[in-house]
Amino acid sequence: MRSEIEPGRARPPILRRAVAGVVLLVAAALAVHVIIGVFLTLVWIVAAVAVIAAVAWALKTLVW
């Protein structure tokens, strides 16, 4: 039975950890930006459909 313990670093160097943290922050910010963009796109589509429906209703009421 081996009783030797292999030496190894318990934690990565501080600079490497800092870079990993920055990468995570940038990725999270990009994800939030994309999610907000998709949401706003859906809102604009719903608004456009509502405007078209309102104009069609108004024309139908006034003309026909």
pLDDT tens track for 8-51: 667 779 999 999 999 999 999 999 999 999 999 999 999 999 99
Q: What Å distances lie between residue 14 and 10, 21, 50, 53, CA to CA?
A: 12, 10, 54, 59
Q: Total domain count for the chain?
A: 1
Task: Tell me, yes or no, whether 46 lies in a domain.
Answer: yes
Q: Is the pLDDT of residue 7 over 80?
A: no
Task: Tell me, yes or no, whether 42 lies in a domain.
Answer: yes
Q: Does pTM surpass 0.85?
A: no
Task: Tell me, yes or no, whether 63 lies in a domain.
Answer: yes
Q: Looking at residue 51, what is its pLDDT?
A: 98
